[in-house]
Amino acid sequence: MTQETPSTTTTALAETPEGTPPPSEPASPVRSRRVRLLSSLSFAAVAIVGILVVLYAWRLPPFSSTIESTENALVRGQVTIIGPQLAGYIVEVPVHDFQFVKAGDLLVRLDDRIYTQRLAQAQAQLQQQRAALANNLQQRNSAEAVIAQRQAAIDDASAQAAKSAADLRRNQDLVSDGSVSRREFDVTRASHAAAVASLAQAKAALEIARQDRETVIVNRAALEAAVENAKAAVELARIDLDNTRVTAPRDGQLGQIGTRLGAYVNSGAQLMALVPDTLWVIANLKETQMANVRIGQAASFSVDALDHLKLRGHVQQISPATGSEFALLQADNATGNFVKIAQRIPVRITVDPEQPEAKRLRPGMSVVVSIDTRE
């Protein structure tokens, strides 16, 4: 076996251009095809993964699901703002923040001295109107008696007129034969005329008495209306007095008390809030998710504030319009720079009973809702 000497190696390197070593053997064609194949497979795998991610994100087949979910959901409740109907100084606040109360419990009491006196004044006016009504009844009885008196006077005047008429007829027969003087006949005729006038006067007095009775009757209707008006005034004064006591309209838990003892409040001022135990969930689903959502379908939701506690419910109602239709400022889409945005449709979900953990829900909590549309 021969060995190359250093001089021989140096001579070989010197003979190459610029002293570079001789080129190595060319790469194998099979190896090049293998590299290209691996590169193509890697690119195809990345493309397939990207496509699958897009399909999953848009919930397209084969990743489509019967479960419609949204994070745009909140717990809602009938939160009632408590306020007085009257203005005045607060003299009592027997409740405190976050206290549980029953319907009818006293929350705030206003100074009621003015309203107590107004009630007493209204009651006094009612008594006055009732006395006037009773006096009207007495006046009618008096008018009936006067009518009876005038009727008796007519009867007496009629008798006197009949007597004077008879005397006049007799004197007419006697004056012709001289048994009665002309002077006596004139006296008889004057007496008859006076009797007839007295009868007419008595009849007129009877008509006046009857008209006085009608006046009393008509006045009674006005007095009865005045009594009813006084009764209404008493009731209004009593309502105002009752409104000095602000009570709980229903069972629930109070929020923060926004007033203090001795403060002056106006009518309608917000004193506190009352949160009842009736709660529900409003889920704002995209319009593209509403195709299979129906009333009565089962739903579940996880509560962020309760360590993602999962509770059950059912779809109770679906909004008749999208949320944008109820917005204060309506969007004007009749412009040249229109951009289509998926609208949201509110869906009301009830909380199923017999879930002890549901008592921990509070209005305003964020939840993640899932609706099973298979049903």
DSSP states along 186-231: HHHHHHHHHHHHHHHHHHHHHHHHHHHHHHHHHHHHHHHHHHHHHH
Q: In this structure, how many other beta carbons lie within 10 angstroms of the beta carbon of residue 191?
A: 17
Q: What is the rounded average pLDDT of the residues 211-219?
A: 81
- In CATH terms, 84-111+245-269 corresponds, of 2.60.15.10, 3.40.1370.10, 2.40.50.100, 2.60.260.20, to 2.40.50.100
Q: Per CATH, which fold does 113-242 belong to?
A: Helix Hairpins (1.10.287)
Chain region(s) in the chain for CATH 2.40.50.100 = 84-111+245-269
DSSP label of 355:
-
SS3 category, 183: helix
Question: Sorting pLDDT into bands at 50, 70 and 90, what band is 163?
Answer: confident
Cα dihedral across residues 320, 323, 328, 329: positive or negative: negative
Q: Could you read off the pLDDT of 120-159 as tens digits, one per residue?
A: 999 999 999 999 888 888 888 887 888 888 888 887 778 7
Question: Sorting pLDDT into bands at 50, 70 and 90, what band is 26?
Answer: low
b/e code 298-321 from CB counts within 10 Å (16+ = b): bbbbbbeeeeebebbbbbeeebee
Q: Which of 32-46, 115-129, 250-264, 313-327 has the lowest mean pLDDT?
A: 32-46
SS3 category, 298: strand
Question: Sorting pLDDT into bands at 50, 70 and 90, what band is 358?
Answer: very high
Residues sharing a CB contact under 8 Å with residue 94, sequence separation 6 or more, in sequence order: 106, 107, 109
Question: Sorting pLDDT into bands at 50, 70 and 90, what band is 248?
Answer: very high
Length of the chain equals 375
What confidence score (pLDDT) does residue 133 get?
86
- In CATH terms, 67-79+276-372 corresponds, of 2.40.30.170, 1.10.274.100, 2.30.29.30, 2.60.40.10, to 2.40.30.170
Reply yes or no on whether the pLDDT at 269 is more than 60: yes
Reply yes or no on whether the pLDDT at 295 is more than 70: yes
Q: Which of 69-83, 197-211, 244-258, 296-310 has the lowest mean pLDDT?
A: 197-211
List strand residue ranges (DSSP E) for the chain, in order.
67-77, 80-82, 88-92, 100-101, 106-110, 245-247, 252-254, 264-265, 272-275, 279-286, 298-303, 309-318, 344-351, 366-372
Residues sharing a CB contact under 8 Å with residue 151, sequence separation 6 or more, in sequence order: 206
